[in-house]
Amino acid sequence: MGIIEGIMLTVITAATPLLIAALGELVAERSGVLNLGVEGMMAVGAVCGFAVALETGEPWLGVLAAIAGGVIMAALFGVVTLIFVANQVASGLALTLFGLGLSGMLGSAYVGRPGARIGSLELPVLSDIPILGSLVFGLDPITYFSIALAAGVWFFLFRSRGGLVLRAVGDSHASAHALGYNVIGVRFMAVLFGGACAGLAGGYLSLVYTPQWAQAMTAGRGWIALALVVFATWLPGRVVLGALLFGAVSILQLHAQAIGVGIPSQFLTMLPYLTTIVVLVIISRNRLLLRVNTPACLGQPFVPDR
């Protein structure tokens, strides 16, 4: 039972950064903006969070720094794509490469240094309940926040006027503009929210998941988060399930290597990304499901009438 409990805990912690980053990207894409720079924003958030937490000794200041790092990167992307109307795909790829390089440069002095860690919450009596105690009452605060964030994103998108406006901008920016809504402003705020979530996801990696800094420690999680949005067909509830699925694949391949399964370690390492490709192929075959939920103006530039 202890082994099962440990595996379930590691699955949840592995799923948390994927969930946070995917929720941010979901909001951005619902507004009609395709930001492929999630990996770069996560990397910058990871190094900013680790550096500030280490220098100040306050891990929660590191969390704020991680969010700020992601927001700054997202603002750069927003200016380039929404103000100067550059190609979103090319700009997102450039943002990822820039973020990975920048994080490597900023973090060169922190490689191998132990950092401040955000520990798990321990509730008296409740945390001692077998299995459920640690799984429900013994998680870290950011994991609890990610669950609340998923509920908040769902409520905002489907139960609030602001969410209705954002979805209207993503489905028909010309109509939304004709109704008097500030399309650029709505999209810019959605992009900043996505950056904040990506930065927080990166900070989670360097402050909770593995409290240290290593270059490219995001290890492709930003790309998995992007795939999660498509896997979930732009619905927050399905993002939660998808994050747990991909988190489980990532963790189970590590346990398989640990117990010496007779499969090459290189194959097990690439298993999460292979799973991502297979899932996307399966989802893409259901064209009706994709057509119903996909923002109609996703990736399309908008230039207001002058």
DSSP reduced 3-state for 279? helix
What's the CA gap between 145 and 151, in Å, rounded?
10
Per-residue pLDDT, 283 = 74
Per-residue pLDDT, 206 = 94
Per-residue pLDDT, 114 = 83
What six digits make up the tokens of 274?
């292979």
Per-residue pLDDT, 127 = 65
Alpha helix (H) residue ranges in the chain: 2-30, 38-56, 59-78, 88-106, 132-137, 141-159, 161-171, 173-178, 183-204, 221-231, 236-258, 265-284, 287-293
Task: Encode pLDDT of 11-36 as tens digits.
Answer: 899 999 999 999 999 999 999 999 99
pLDDT band at residue 103 under the 50/70/90 scheme? very high
Per-residue pLDDT, 177 = 94
Per-residue pLDDT, 39 = 97
Cβ neighbours, 10 Å, residue 87: 13
Per-residue pLDDT, 239 = 94
Per-residue pLDDT, 132 = 67
Mean pLDDT of the region 134-144: 83
What six digits make up the tokens of 105?
């440069």
Query: What is the DSSP-derived secondary structure letter of residue 138?
Result: S
Mean pLDDT of the region 39-47: 97
Per-residue pLDDT, 277 = 80
Structural contact between residues 232 and 244, judged by C-beta atoms closer than 8 angstroms: no
| β-bridge mates for residue 111, sequence order | 213
pLDDT band at residue 117 under the 50/70/90 scheme? confident
Mean pLDDT of the region 81-93: 95
Which one-letter amino acid corresponds to residue 73?
Answer: M
In the predicted structure, residue 212 carries a pLDDT above the cut 60:
yes
What's the CA gap between 84 and 302, in Å, rounded?
10
Rg, C-alpha atoms of the chain: 19
Per-residue pLDDT, 289 = 67
Which residues have CB under 8 Å from 285's CB, separation 6+? Answer: none
Task: Encode pLDDT of 233-290 as tens digits.
Answer: 899 999 999 899 888 888 877 767 667 666 776 776 777 778 778 877 777 777 776 6
What six digits make up the tokens of 102?
């920048």
Torsion of CA 283, 285, 288, 290, to 10 degrees: 40
Structural domains for the chain: 2-117+138-293 (1.10.3470)
Cα 286 to Cα 123, 140, 212, 217, 220, distances in angstroms: 45, 37, 41, 34, 26
In the predicted structure, residue 1 carries a pLDDT above the cut 60:
no
Task: Encode pLDDT of 147-188 as tens digits.
Answer: 999 999 999 999 999 999 999 999 999 999 999 999 999 999
In the predicted structure, residue 124 carries a pLDDT above the cut 80:
no
